[in-house]
Structure 1
Amino acid sequence: MAIASHDSLPDSMRAQFLDAFNTPYALRSVPVPTLGSPYEILIKVDAASYCHTDAVLASGQMKPNPPSLPHIGCHEFAGTIVALPTDSSSTFSIGDKVGVPGRSFNPCGTCFECAAGSTPEDPDADQPGYSVYCTEALNNGISRPGGFSEYAVVDSRQLTPIPNGLSAVDTAVLMCAGVTIYNALKRCALRPGQRVGIVGCGGGLGHLGLQFATKMGLRVVGIDNADAPLKLARGIATGARIVDSRVQNAGDVAIELGTEDGKQDRGDMGLDSVVILPESQKAFDYGIGLLRNHGRCVIVSFPERGFHISARDIVFRDISIVGSLVGSNKTSREVLQFAAEHQVKAMMKTFPLSRLNDLVAEYHKGEGGKLVIDMSLLD
């Protein structure tokens, strides 16, 4: 395959490998990957963000299809295009700055998901021929190598141009965490002025969700149950009400909201929609308890044993429950434009590639925000 590339591409690169589950990452040099199809593009990774799914994968809990080992993780990253096929149909050029989500690498293009395209029921879907829901596609950082490396091969159809006002570090955290919470908020199907709750508001997705939801014109309630995430949420959540679920029960909060809104009936008090981020039954129950009758619960987390759902809430209160997974490439582009326009940025700590294990240790402290590998930092 004929390749157009930057003149100074090296023969080798450094990458962090997971050699066994529940072990530290190992940094070593390997050859720079090569391109295999007209859709593939080589980028120099500029920033790679750590996600909860990276922790799930590293612990061996990515079921039913754990990755083969050794494995290069990270499914939310950003970089600079350094090589692409000369016969590529992509509109991208060498030197372009792009964001890279995990899904979906080399989709089949022919299954019902890929063939569907945008419809009135799903106007945010991509054009026919590409779908993040394709079951045949691979996923960067999960079923194939990801961004914890100096270079990575990506699918040109995945890529999102980085708009002015966002750095590579800003962008990396938006390519999974940002897209996922933004898409979940859209699935809430709310109008400006309606109420939305975010359970787990001080985490990586949650604190971005507080900013997105507020800028969307929604009235926002953030819920968490640990000191550090609550402090982070209160520090960024201008206009949002932040609730410590250890102190206030859901029913009391719903009544407070209803009273503020001038509601008379208990069933009409509370949130119009809630997004559940933690993998906790208590978090799920709390979120459901905040909803008014006919409210919607959007689930993002996927605990191995699932959630226990009360049939009484569904039948007698008409609560609807839907899931939400990342978003289309079209949505990814919308997220970056929205973030740039409204100055939505993550609270984060950055580390050089060589200190990925220090980043993981920081993640397990549970202090909220996002943790990112910044390739510009010296080792």
Structure 2
Amino acid sequence: MVQHGIMGTKLPCTGSHEGSGTVVAVGSSVKNFKVGDRVMGGIIYHSCGTCGDCRGPETSTQYCTNAAYCGVKGADGYFAEYARIDSRWAAKLPDKVSFETAAPLACAGCTVYKGVVLAGLKKGEWIALVGSGGGLGHLGVQFAKALGLKVVGVDARDEGLELTRKGGADLVVDARKGDEAAVKEVKHVTNGEGVAATVNVSDAKTAAATSCAITRMHGTVVQVAQPDNVTIPFQELIFRDIRLRGSLICSAQEANDMLQLVSKHNISVNANAFKGLGDMEKLIELAESGKMKGKGIVIMDQSQIDAEGKGVM
């Protein structure tokens, strides 16, 4: 979206809105972090503190529309040796969560975690993720399982289906078989009803429609993916009384909750690691090929990864 000018990014701007690393300096008003802390940095930078989302309640925060966004608009991002971050949107890493795990969680993790939480389900209920084998989806499957939900994973790539199974989905559905087959498979395991809620993280043209089709009457669809248009047949949306919600990113407290969940349940990020900015072309080529399993990361400082592996951080 930055490349296509959708975000109104003024260049030059250092890219990447997800990062993790070690604090080397803190501002005079920062009280909750110290030099040496291992942290996950967020996308939000200099939120205004006065708008409705900033005032809260905390857990209902979508994001501050008056803020700058690291690597996207008004603030530099994480493709650099050092990055300035907003302490109000950063989170300390639990001991068991590595830098390589944390970086993709800073946006992808926070985004899909919010979608799963926003569905508002109780333990034992069924949730579906459409696009379950992608960078966000494979995390969403694991989050949902860790929260005690039963999970349907829907994907249209062999790589995505493989990653969905690896994440522990209770039912894996190949979207290439069509909506009719998907609905049949989902109803077979949900007492003929469909799932209670679906989180759509696929920008395929038919993904939103599929999400509604596999969701039970009066159920909820949380739209996270950002295609040019969200297209749903009116029969699915209106005749079946589907609640459609948009969701972007979680709040600061929810980011901390997510990291605790990751630590407690050993949730893993399927990371494709590249060494330094010199490998950026290779990363982009993989991402655009449709063959990537999980998330791509760029390691800017190998010494931090090495030190972490030796337990000396």
Q: TM-score, normalised on structure 2?
A: 0.90
Alpha-carbon distance in structure 1 between the residues aligned to 2:30 and 2:162: 47
2:230 corresponds, among 303, 307, 310, to 307
**Secondary structure class of the residue paired with 2:211:** helix
Matched letter for residue 301 of structure 1: A
Confirm whether residue 356 of structure 1 aligns to residue 280 of structure 2.
yes
Give the total of aligned pairs.
Answer: 300
Q: 1:279 aligns with which of 203, 221, 225?
A: 203
- Give, as a single letter, the amino acid of the residue that structure 2 aligns with 1:57: V
Match among 21, 34, 40 for residue 93 of structure 1? 34
Paired amino acid for 1:67: T
Helix, strand or coil for the counterpart of 2:23? strand
- Which consecutive unaligned segments of at least 5 residues does structure 1 have? 1-55, 119-123, 126-130, 264-268
2:107 paired with 1:176: yes
In structure 2, the CA distance between the partners of 1:298 and 1:204, relative to structure 1 (3 Å rule), is: same
Aligned CA distance change for structure 1 residues 320 and 362 (closer, same or farther; 3 Å): same
Letter in 2 for 1:298: V
CA distance in 2, matches of 1:183, 1:319: 19
The answer to whether the 8 Å contact 2:81/2:301 transfers is no
Change (3 A) 1:282 1:262: closer
**Unaligned stretches of 5+ in structure 2?**
304-313
**Whole-Å separation in 2 of the counterparts to 1:194 and 1:294:** 14
Secondary structure of 1:360's counterpart equals helix
- Note if 1:208 corresponds to 2:139: yes
Q: Deviations over 1:195-242 (max 9, x none)?
A: 1111111110011111111111111111111222222222x1324211
Tell me: CA distance 1:260–1:364, structure 2 relative to 1, closer, same or farther (3 Å): closer
Instruction: Give the structure with the higher percent strand.
Output: 1
Shift of 1:132: 5.7
Deviations 1:127-172 (A, max 9, x none): xxxx662221101110121000000111111110000101111110
> Residues of 1 paired with 2:182 and 2:202: CA distance?
19
| 8 Å CA contact 1:200, 1:223 repeated in 2 | yes
Question: CA 1:216–1:351 in 2, change beyond 3 Å: closer, same or farther?
Answer: same
**122, 126, 146: which one aligns with 1:195:** 126
Amino acid at match of 2:22: T
- The answer for the alignment partner of 2:254 in structure 1 is 331
- TM-score for both structures, normalised by structure 1: 0.75
Q: CA deviation at 1:281?
A: 2.1
Q: Residue deviations 1:221-275, cap 9 Å, x none? A: 11111222222222x132421111112x333333344344444xxxxx2111111
SS of equivalent to 1:272: strand
Distance in 2 between residues matched to 1:116 and 1:233, nearest whole Å? 34
Q: Does 1:154 align with 2:54?
A: no
C-alpha distance in 2 between matches for 1:205 and 1:260: 24
Query: What does 1:103-118 align with in structure 2 at a 5 Å threshold?
Result: 103=44, 105-118=45-58
> Quick check: 1:270 aligned with 2:204?
no
Map of 2:306 onto structure 1: none
Which residue of 1 is the match for residue 296 of structure 2? 371
Evaluate the alpha carbon distance shift between residue 295 and residue 251 of structure 1 in structure 2; reply closer, same or farther with a 3 A threshold. Answer: farther
Contact kept in structure 2, 1:351 and 1:377, CA below 8 Å: no
Q: Distance in 2 between the 1:238 and 1:276 partners?
A: 18
The DSSP-based 3-state class of the residue aligned with 2:152 is strand
Change (3 A) 1:260 1:111: closer
Superposed CA offset, 1:79-116 (max 9, x none): 1111123x32422111111101102x111212222223
Residues 219 and 250 (structure 1), Cα distance of their counterparts in 2 relative to 1, 3 Å cut: farther
Question: Residue type matched to 2:68 in 1?
Answer: L
Q: Which residue of 1 is the match for residue 25 of structure 2? A: 83
Which amino acid in 2 is paired with 1:372?
A: I
Contact 1:81 1:96 (C-alpha < 8 Å) held by counterparts: yes
CA contact (8 A) 1:250 1:287 kept: no
Q: Aligned-residue CA RMSD in angstroms?
A: 1.8
**How far apart in 1 are the matches of 2:104 and 2:81?**
17
Q: SS of the residue aligned with 2:151?
A: strand
Q: SS of the residue aligned with 2:26? A: strand
Compared with structure 1, are the counterparts of its residues 113 and 261 closer, same or farther at alpha carbon in structure 2 (3 Å cutoff)? closer
In 2, Cα distance between equivalents of 1:283 and 1:314: 14
Tell me which residue corresponds to 1:31: none
Q: In the alignment, is the contact (CA less than 8 A) between 1:214 and 1:240 conserved in 2?
A: no
Larger Rg: 1
Where 1:83 maps in the other structure, the secondary structure is coil
Distance in 1, Cα, partners of 2:64 & 2:98: 30
